[in-house]
Structure 1
C-alpha cells in the first residue's frame, strides 16, 4: 500500500488534532479529520458579533511555548503583545504592577503600589530569575503541591497572594483557590517571565485557522459527531460506520471508548461575558484584576485595545468569571454590570454575548510536560491526543498531537501490523 492509501482518522479538529494531521502530512500520509461542529478550533475559537471579534473565553498565547514556536508562524498571526503586568482594582482604587525588566514604564508604578511589600516585589524578581534558569523537565519532576502552598512556602505575604497572585492565576487556571499544581504554576510563570502573553489581532481562532490552512492532504468531515470508536472502525451518531486503519482521538476519549468509561476527564468551567463600552477606563493592552474577595468578576480586558473597533467611540470589554454561582443568565449579566460600576467605575456596559464554557480546562494531577509516542497508544489501532494527557496548555495540546501522530507513523514504519491491516482492506 502507498502511504496515501492508509485510512488514518483524527477525531476532533482542535489544536492537538490539527497538529497531528500536520505531522502525518509531513511524513506523506493523507489523514481525515472528523469534527462534530462546523469549524475547526475546539476550545480555541472566535465568533464575529456586531462586527466585534469575540473569543470563546479570554485566551492568550504565551510566546515562549516551544511547541507554538515550532508549529505556528507568529509573524503571520500578527500577534499583539499584552503589557507584562496587571491593573489591580481594589477598594475603589486602580494600581498598576508588572515586570519593569521588560517594560520600564512599570518600574515606578510597581514600586509605589501598595500591593505587597518591597520584600514581596524582590521575591518576584528572584522567582523570575530562578524559573528562567530552571529546565522544563526539572519543573515537571518536582514534587507537586498546590500553587497556594507553593507561594506561602516561598515566603510571599498574604497581601500579595490575595491581591495579585490569586486573581491573576485564577484567570489562567480557571479556579479561584489556587489549588492547581505547583508544576503548572512554575511552567506558566517561566513562560511569562521569558516571553509575552500575546493574542492574534484577528482573535484566538486565527491560531486554529492557520494550522488548518497549512494542511494540503487532509480531508475534513464537519458536522459529524462520533458515537463510538472501536479497533479499525468509527461509529458516527447517525450509526454510519467508517473503516479505519488507525484512529487518533484528539478529544475527550472516555465517552467514545468502552474501556475508558471510568476514566472520564473532570473539567473546570468559567463564564466569559462581552460588553460594549462607550468610554475606556484604561487604554493599554493590560489585564485588569478584581482583587476584592466578595467580587464575582475575576478579570477584565478590553479586546479593542488590540483590535480596531468597527464602531466609532465604542469598545468591547471581556469579563471572566471563574467562581461557581447559581445565577440565571439575566441575573449574571446584571450582577456583572453592577460589579463593573462598583469596582472599576465602568458604567452603562451594554451586554453583547455570554459564553458559558463548561469544559474550559481539564482538571489534572501529576502534570507532565512530555509524553512518548508509545504512551499515546491505547490499542493496536487507537491513539490518544489532547492537553488532558499532559497539562492544561496549548503547548501540551500541540505536543500530544505530535506524539500521537508519531505513534501511528512508528507503528506503520516498524511493520508490526501492516500485513494484517493490508489484507483486511484488500
Structure 2
C-alpha cells in the first residue's frame, strides 16, 4: 500500500457513499464507487412515468438539516416548499391547521379548528418554543422514551395525538404506534420549526444527482454486486476480486461482513394515483385521523412545481400498517378509503413502491457515531443512517465520518 496514493473503494452510491467520496476528494484522493444498480441514489430515487415524478416513497428534505446545508446547494436544487401546516380528514370533514407565526394564512383556520383543543394549541406553541431553544446535542443526550409517552407527558390530549401527531409522524417514522424514540421526535420537530419541508423541482433524486455531479476524480463502477469484503479484498458476485487498501461499505453490509448486531428495518408502501382534480389546492400534507384506516397521509405532488407539466394531478398515499393484501387488493382498499374518508374520486392507479428497507429501526437514537462502531478491521469501515438515526442528515454524517476516519488511518 502506498501512503501517498492508497486505493480507496466505496460500496454503494447512495447519499452516504457520495458524501464519503466528496470528503475524500476534498483531501486529494480519488476513490472508486462500486454500485450494484445502474444509477446513484440508493433509497433516494425518482422515476419519471407519463410526465409524473414518482419518488421511491414520499420523501422530503428538511432544510434545517446541518449536513444537508453543508453538502447541498439549495438554490441549484430549486427547492419547492411544502407549507407549515396540514389538512386533517375526520368524519368526512376537512380542517386546515398550521403555524400562523410562519404563515399568517393559517391564523383563523387554526384558531377555529376543532381538531385540537385550545389547551392543545397552547401546548403546541410551548413545544415550538421549547425545541427552538434546545440544541441538537441536548436533544440527543436527553433521556429516551417513546414518542407517544413523550406527547402524553407533555400534556397533549388523546384527541390531539389521534388527530394530528399520530397520522403526521406515522408517515415520518413509518410506524403507526409512535413507539419511535422521543429524541427522534424532538429532532424532527425542531427541524420542522427552524426550517422548511421541501422537494427539489426535479424530485428527490436531484439530491444524489447533485452530489455525484460535484465529484471530479471519483470513478464509478455500476451494475456490479459485491459478495464479500475482507481485509484488503473485495469479492464480486461474478467471482472477480478487487484489491483495496481501504473500503467503506456505504450500503447494507450484512451480506458482506460479519456485524456484531443485526440491522432491522421498517417498511412501507407508497402508491401513486392520477386524478383530474386536486382537492387540496395548496402544498399541504393531508392527514387521515382514523385509527382503522390503512392510509396515514396523502400529498398532491402537483401542488408543487415540477420539471414536467402533467395534464392532471398526481396523488401519493403512504401505507405503513401491516397487512396481508396483495397489490391489487391494497389498491382497491386505498381507493375506497380515499373516496370514503377524503372525498377523492376518479382515481387512476399509476404505480406502487413496496419498500421493505425504508428506514432503520433504531432502538437507541444517536446523532453521532464512534470509530469503534464503524470499524470492521484496519481497512474496512461501514457507513449508513442505521448507525445513528433514520434521516438524510444521519446518512450524510456517517459518510463524512467514515471518510474522515480513513484519512486519519492514512496519516
Q: TM-score range by the shorter chain?
A: over 0.9
Question: Could you tell me which residue of structure 1 aligns to residue 132 of structure 2?
Answer: 132
CA distance in 2, matches of 1:186, 1:146: 11
Q: TM-score, normalised by structure 1?
A: 0.94
CA distance in 2, matches of 1:349, 1:168: 23
Question: Could you tell me which residue of structure 2 aligns to residue 154 of structure 1?
Answer: 154
Question: Could you tell me which residue of structure 2 aligns to residue 19 of structure 1?
Answer: 19
Question: Could you tell me which residue of structure 2 aligns to residue 197 of structure 1?
Answer: 197
Question: Could you tell me which residue of structure 1 aligns to residue 388 of structure 2?
Answer: 390
8 Å CA contact retained: 1:4, 1:29: no
Runs of at least 5 residues in structure 1 that lack an aligned partner in the other structure: 414-426
More displaced stretch, 63-72 vs 340-349: 340-349
Equivalent in 290, 293, 304 of residue 292 of structure 1: 290
CA distance in 2, matches of 1:2, 1:412: 9
Deviation at 1:356, TM superposition (A): 0.3
Question: Could you tell me which residue of structure 2 aligns to residue 422 of structure 1?
Answer: none
Deviation at 1:158, TM superposition (A): 0.2
Q: Does 1:332 align with 2:330?
A: yes
Question: Could you tell me which residue of structure 1 aligns to residue 365 of structure 2?
Answer: 367
Equivalent in 342, 346, 349 of residue 351 of structure 1: 349
8 Å CA contact retained: 1:3, 1:29: no
CA distance in 1, matches of 2:373, 2:19: 17
Question: Could you tell me which residue of structure 2 aligns to residue 176 of structure 1?
Answer: 176
8 Å CA contact retained: 1:16, 1:399: yes
**Aligned 1:72-87 pairs, distance under 5 A:** 72-87=72-87
CA change 1:3–1:345 in 2 (3 A) is: farther
Question: Could you tell me which residue of structure 1 aligns to residue 109 of structure 2?
Answer: 109
Moved over 6 A (4+): 1-4
**Aligned 1:118-129 pairs, distance under 5 A:** 118-129=118-129
* Deviations, residues 345-372 of structure 1 (Å, cap 9, x unaligned): 1111100000000000000022111224
SS of residue matched to 2:198: strand
Equivalent in 404, 407, 410 of residue 405 of structure 2: 407
**Aligned 1:249-268 pairs, distance under 5 A:** 249-257=249-257, 259-260=258-259, 263-268=261-266
8 Å CA contact retained: 2:382, 2:402: yes
SS of residue matched to 2:267: strand
Deviation at 1:264, TM superposition (A): 2.2
CA distance in 2, matches of 1:157, 1:72: 39
8 Å CA contact retained: 1:146, 1:180: yes
SS of residue matched to 1:44: coil
Question: Could you tell me which residue of structure 2 aligns to residue 311 of structure 1?
Answer: 310
8 Å CA contact retained: 2:375, 2:382: yes
Question: Could you tell me which residue of structure 1 aligns to residue 145 of structure 2?
Answer: 145
Deviation at 1:47, TM superposition (A): 0.4
Question: Could you tell me which residue of structure 2 aligns to residue 53 of structure 1?
Answer: 53
* Deviations, residues 190-214 of structure 1 (Å, cap 9, x unaligned): 0001111111011000001000000
Q: TM-score, normalised by structure 2?
A: 0.98
More displaced stretch, 228-237 vs 370-379: 370-379
* Deviations, residues 123-162 of structure 1 (Å, cap 9, x unaligned): 1111111101101111111111100000001010000000
CA distance in 2, matches of 1:256, 1:4: 28
CA distance in 2, matches of 1:2, 1:102: 55
CA distance in 1, matches of 2:27, 2:278: 50
CA RMSD in angstroms, aligned pairs only: 1.2
CA distance in 2, matches of 1:81, 1:348: 27
Deviation at 1:5, TM superposition (A): 3.3
**Aligned 1:167-246 pairs, distance under 5 A:** 167-246=167-246
CA distance in 2, matches of 1:319, 1:77: 24
Deviation at 1:375, TM superposition (A): 4.2
Deviation at 1:373, TM superposition (A): 4.6
8 Å CA contact retained: 2:81, 2:198: yes
Deviation at 1:377, TM superposition (A): 2.0
Q: Does 1:302 align with 2:300?
A: yes
8 Å CA contact retained: 2:139, 2:186: yes
* Deviations, residues 8-59 of structure 1 (Å, cap 9, x unaligned): 0001111000000000000000000011111000111000011111000000
8 Å CA contact retained: 2:3, 2:410: no
SS of residue matched to 2:70: helix
